[in-house]
Amino acid sequence: MAKILIVEDNALNIKLFCDLLAAHGHEPEAVTDSRNALDAAHQFSPDLVITDIQLPHVSGLELIRMIRDDEQLSAIPIMAVTAYSTTEDEERIRGAGAQAYVSKPISVMRFAQTVEDLLKDHGSHDLIAQVDVQANESEDSPGPGETGGEES
């Protein structure tokens, strides 16, 4: 179980994200006003932050930079959720300091998989970390012609 902070101004998306994360055994906490997001992050100490990019007051890009500049929060992985989809936008999001982004309307599978990947990379969960080690071992000794499953 991971604590996940959601910053999103759309109530339907909040419900969707919270339901999805709870169904995967996580503990979601939502903030609708991005001006409260940094305080909420300090109080909640999330393992992962999921933020919308198009937010009033403090944009998702600003928020990502603020988290990255915060001594206590800078190591927390960030996943951006955005209606933007050009390569340039993705570069701006990653440049601000997000590890991943998922475009809206979200694919439920991709959303859940990206969350698990980010938590796994962060190494905060023993069970998931063990699965990660096994996956890495097979990568270390490449088998003949095995390239693994590519998503289409």
- Residues forming contacts to Mn ion in the complex (CB under 5 A) are 9, 52, 54
Nearest approach, Cβ of 83 to Mn ion (angstroms)? Answer: 8
Nearest approach, Cβ of 107 to Mn ion (angstroms)? Answer: 18
Pair type for strands 48-52 and 3-7:
parallel
Distance CA 10, CA 118 (A): 23
- Nearer Cβ to Mn ion, position 60 or 77? 60
Closest CA to 53 of 98, 17, 16: 98
Q: Which residue has the tokens 């990653």?
A: 94
Nearest approach, Cβ of 12 to Mn ion (angstroms)? Answer: 11
- Nearer Cβ to Mn ion, position 4 or 80? 80
- Nearer Cβ to Mn ion, position 55 or 118? 55
Nearest approach, Cβ of 96 to Mn ion (angstroms)? Answer: 16
- Nearer Cβ to Mn ion, position 47 or 52? 52
Q: CA 44 → CA 35, 48, 82, 105, 106, distances in Å?
A: 15, 11, 23, 27, 25
- CB atoms inside a 10 Å sphere around CB 81: 26
DSSP label at 80?
E
| Amino acid at the residue 74 | S
- Nearer Cβ to Mn ion, position 2 or 49? 49
Nearest approach, Cβ of 149 to Mn ion (angstroms)? Answer: 32
